[in-house]
């Protein structure tokens, strides 16, 4: 068993695909027509995912006022997505060059170097570098 998809509500399919593939380097796994919405508007089944990942993001275009209100605020202003990378500095520079908006400078935490950025819809993401190795405990007799 594994988590297959997480839905991400966006304003526009093509804008979201561009952001996730160009800026983040995700793969476009599927982009096909889907059954129309309850109101009869056409929609698409659009899935992106990080290279090598099993879990993908289903990019779902907002339909109706309730979904429009959720775009960019799916986690109430908290970080809701966490992108772990092997080379933090390289990926951070790439995202900056791609125009990704960061909300502050990178900082070092026990779980890795982290910087918060916004996706195309305005959702908060953590860009995470590798976790730092635990520092060896000081021997009791040295204290």
In which domain, by residue range, is 77 found?
73-143
What pTM does this model have?
0.86
If asked whether residues 63 and 113 sit together in one domain, one would say no
Question: Which residue among 50, 71, 92 closes a domain?
Answer: 71
Number of domains making up the chain: 2
**DSSP codes joined into one string, the chain:** ----EEEEEES-HHHHHHIIIIIS--EEEEEEEEPPPTTS--EEEEEEE-TT-S-EEEEEE--SHHHHHHTT-TTTTSEEEEEE-S-HHHHHHHHHHTTPPBSS--EEETTEEEEEEE-TT--EEEEE-PPPPPPPPPPGGG-
If asked whether residues 29 and 90 sit together in one domain, one would say no
Output the tens digit of pLDDT for each of the chain's 143 residues: 999 999 999 999 999 999 999 999 999 999 998 876 666 778 899 999 999 999 999 999 999 899 999 999 999 999 999 999 999 999 999 999 999 999 999 999 999 999 999 999 999 999 999 987 766 666 666 55
If asked whether residues 2 and 64 sit together in one domain, one would say yes
């Amino acid at each position: 068993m594994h988590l297959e998809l997480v839905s991400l509500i966006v304003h526009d399919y093509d804008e979201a695909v561009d952001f996730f593939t160009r800026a983040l380097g995700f793969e476009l796994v599927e982009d096909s027509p889907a059954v129309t919405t309850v109101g009869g508007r056409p929609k698409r089944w659009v899935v992106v995912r990080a290279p090598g990942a099993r879990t993908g993001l289903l990019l779902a275009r907002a339909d109706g006022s309730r979904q429009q209100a959720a775009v960019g605020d799916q986690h109430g202003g908290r970080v809701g997505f966490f992108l772990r990378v092997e080379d933090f500095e390289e990926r951070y520079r790439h995202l900056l060059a791609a125009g990704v908006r960061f909300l502050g400078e990178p900082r070092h935490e026990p779980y890795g170097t982290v910087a918060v950025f916004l996706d195309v819809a305005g959702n908060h993401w953590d860009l995470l570098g590798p976790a730092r190795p635990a520092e060896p405990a000081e021997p009791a007799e040295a204290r």
